[in-house]
Amino acid sequence: MSEAEGSSAPRTSSGFRTSTRAVPTMDVDAMIDNEKIIVCCGSGGVGKTTIAAALALRAAERGRQVVVLTIDPARRLAQSMGLTELDNTPREVAGVDRSAGGRLDAMMLDMKRTFDEIVLAHTTPERAQQLLDNPFYQSLSSSFAGTQEYMAMEKLGQLDATGNWDLIVVDTPPTRSALDFLDAPSRLGAFLDGRLLRLLLAPAKTGGKMYLKVVGVGLGMFAKVLTKIVGAQLLADVSQFVAALETMFGGFRQRAEQTYQLLGAPGTSFVVVAAPEAAALREASYFVDRLDADGMPLAGLVINRVHPTSAGARGLTAERSLAAAETLTEHEEHPLVAAVLRVHAERMRISAREERLRERFTSAHPDTPVAEVDALAGDVHDLAGLRDVGAALVREGVLGRVG
């Protein structure tokens, strides 16, 4: 926001402008008490895993049957919940207060195992084994771009279909762009049903060895050029893969569409998580716009790791703190006090910057509810820490601020 645009806004005692416009606070407890699916999304490194786990734990201790699905390779969720490991099977979390009748299960997505389960469930044993043994499939199922996001959608659909839980909390993959979670199913479906793979299917239908003579001279020339680029063996592997997967094309597309519809249905809420940093809030803004464009239900934005300044400290601005510290240093008096003043000045500068960034977001999205969680002294590594985060999410304050 430019100086002209913000000239009418009052200044705080720290020297930066703050808006008098009311910003709605996210009602976290209402969400976790009533929704069936909560999807935590945002760019990587903003604390989605912690927020997802804290929401799931709070919901379970308020009496709901909850499963949290994480796609976090750092395995922080397992550590914070006291589990030695998480895998593709939901496991009960010990230490949860079940006095209200709730329960918490947790799992970590194994994308290759999920892909294998889909293959085994939707084709014959012979064709399934042929597909599982195919080198191209093995690469696709473990490392192909978009596979992780697609399998997260698949697993979400599977968990919902069981009816075993009141609430499913999804910690989306730590991708470069938060939009990948919504785009991946259509991208992978387009790849599996693309014209190139349809052309590659022709060699398998003609016996494999005749891939240079299929469907006329034009396709023969195409196959010849492609063979020179990727190699005959890889081309044969791809052709066999497509042939084995052909009967599953419709199933992939259908399930992707069903899960996408589930995400937009009543009972689902998206929680966008961001850090108080320009790049993270810019990504959050893009994602809020995308959710709105797709008609997806947005519960609100959680700004994680905020550095607030207490009301009593606002009278001592960064400039006054630095001036006082300089005076003490010049007179070689009270070095510890001078150091504290400099730390305070830096904290005020950080807080001012974060408020400006938040104001930029709320100006662009005035109707988006906001909650904030203070930066912690250390990492969350147990259930007690997750409870503290969950409690912080529901404390009321300025713009949902904790503290």
pLDDT in tens, 179-214: 666 776 666 656 655 555 555 555 544 444 444 444
- In whole angstroms, how far apart are CA 252 and each of 127, 164, 226, 344, 401? 16, 24, 27, 55, 43
CATH number of the CATH domain containing 360: 3.40.50.300
Judgement on whether residues 69 and 130 belong to the same structural domain of the protein: yes
Judgement on whether residues 66 and 45 belong to the same structural domain of the protein: yes
- Per-residue pLDDT tens digits for 333-391: 788 877 877 877 777 788 888 989 999 999 999 999 999 999 887 788 889 999 999 99
Q: Give a yes or no: residue 46 inside a domain.
A: yes
Judgement on whether residues 73 and 136 belong to the same structural domain of the protein: yes
Q: Which two tokens stand for residue 323?
A: 């001036």
Find the domain containing 122 and state its range.
Answer: 28-181+267-310+356-400
- Pairing type for strands 298-306 and 370-374 reads parallel
Spans of the chain, pLDDT less than 70:
1-21, 72-77, 143-146, 174-181, 184-253, 310-315, 318-319, 325, 396-403
Q: What's the rounded Cα separation, in Å, for the pair 153 and 150?
A: 5
Judgement on whether residues 33 and 169 belong to the same structural domain of the protein: yes
- Per-residue pLDDT tens digits for 25-46: 999 999 999 999 999 998 888 9
Specify the number of domains making up the chain: 2
Q: What's the rounded Cα separation, in Å, for the pair 204 and 237?
A: 10
